Amino acid sequence: MTASSGLLAQPFVRRDPVPAAPPPALVGGPVAWIRRNLFSSLTSTALTLAAVLLLALILPPLLRFLVFDAVWTGENRDACRPEVLGRPVGACWAFVANKINYFVYGSYPIEARWRADVFFALLAFGLAWMLWLDAPRRDLGAAYFFVVFPLASYALLAGVPALGLPAVPTSLWGGMLVTIVVSLVGIVVSLPFGVLLALGRRSRLPVVRLVCVIFIEFWRGVPLITVLFMANVMLPLFLPGDVTVDRLVRPLVGIALFSSAYMAEIVRGGLQAMPRGQFEGAMSLGLGPWLTMRLVILPQALRIVIPGIVNSYIALFKDTTLVSIVGIFDFIRTIESARVDPNWAAPTVSVTGYAFAALFYFLFCFGMSRYSRFVERRLSASHAR
């Protein structure tokens, strides 16, 4: 009794909360996640199993080809020939390593390639400044990216003999350099042009509206490949023999105008989505039409169409490969040319070249897509669900 009375004298008072028991395994944790997301119903289970089966079918041979059986180093075709190595040969990355300079610069003169490198560095700097939303002085960044950078790049890449940079004819440009230049021109030109065209199309002045409508509908009405053929095959026939417009500038102009027309329609979509109240509110504040556009309408309209804009940029980036058909040595074209090199003739060389191209385009397009998701989330806090 004494013992029990002693216990009673000192009643048990719990000072710490009982540690929470983990939720039952069927509610939280990875098992539950899997159950909830992958096997929640019969259909879902079937789909999951099908997906796993598909991966099991595709992944091992893909990995075997791209990684395990691949050849990483070598000087010529012998490195990638199965009868020389005595084993099945997957991707011939040695070929890509050997030709990488050609893939990046094309035929750009070796002694001048540092200029292309500086161009890439300037571009990376400008992009970082523009894309990092919290960067200081983004107004300066915009001035740099849209004015200083294009001029500097032109001087660097094409050359200014007066400044000691010998001219490099564009027929020597090639590879990723050309792909990036072409898409950059398209991207940089199309947004401002597109906004102007979209505003013009909604203008109350009939002449402005008509001009914009005709421009947009004309460029939307012809396929890009036709534009390129016109520029590179037909244009020289119209010009007198002693005058030639540069072979690279022709498709550049074509692509810039073409993408501007598409951009105009995307931006117009954003403008249409603006409720009338926004205009009226701006007017009631005493803003003129230009200020209304700049401060109230465009920031909202452009935010709405970010997915559309990025979509069109991604499409443009991939469409630049079409210039290869008219003899411009973009990245894809350099791969096409390099893969026929008899010094690298081996069964898997072509496939390796294309795999490398796919990787390159995927990285760029996926990057653009992820960045646009980030910006959307950042800017649409008010719409967040």
Q: What is the contact surface with other proteins in residues (CB under 8 A)? A: 77, 81-83, 98-99, 101-102, 105-108, 110, 150-151, 154, 158, 169, 171-172, 174-175, 185, 188-189, 229, 232-247, 249-250, 252-253, 256, 325-327, 329, 333-334, 336-343, 345-347, 349-350
Least Å distance, CB 62 to other proteins, is 19
**Cα 265 to Cα 195: distance, rounded to the nearest angstrom:** 9
Nearer to other proteins by Cβ, of 45 and 101: the residue is 101
CB of 347 to other proteins, least distance (A): 5
**Given the complex with other proteins, which of 50 and 340 has the nearer CB atom?**
340
Nearest approach in angstroms of CB 163 to other proteins is 16
Closest CB to other proteins among residues 343, 380: 343
Q: Select 269 or 347, whichever has its Cβ closest to other proteins.
A: 347
Length of the chain, please? 385
Nearest-approach distance from CB 159 to other proteins, in angstroms: 13
Give the separation between CA 200 and CA 265, rounded to whole angstroms. Answer: 11
For residues 104 and 176, is the Cβ–Cβ distance under 8 A? yes
Nearer to other proteins, 39 or 354 (CB): 354
Q: What is the Cα–Cα distance from 80 to 65, expressed in whole angstroms?
A: 12
Contact 359, 103 (CB under 8 A): no
SS3 content of the chain, % helix, strand, coil (to 5): 75, 0, 25
Q: Least distance (Å) from other proteins to the CB of residue 283?
A: 34
Output the CA torsion 219→222→228→233 (10° steps): -120
CA distance 363 to 370: 10
Smaller CB distance to other proteins: residue 54 or 249? 249
Q: Which two tokens stand for residue 297?
A: 């309408």
Least distance in angstroms from the C-beta of 346 to other proteins: 6
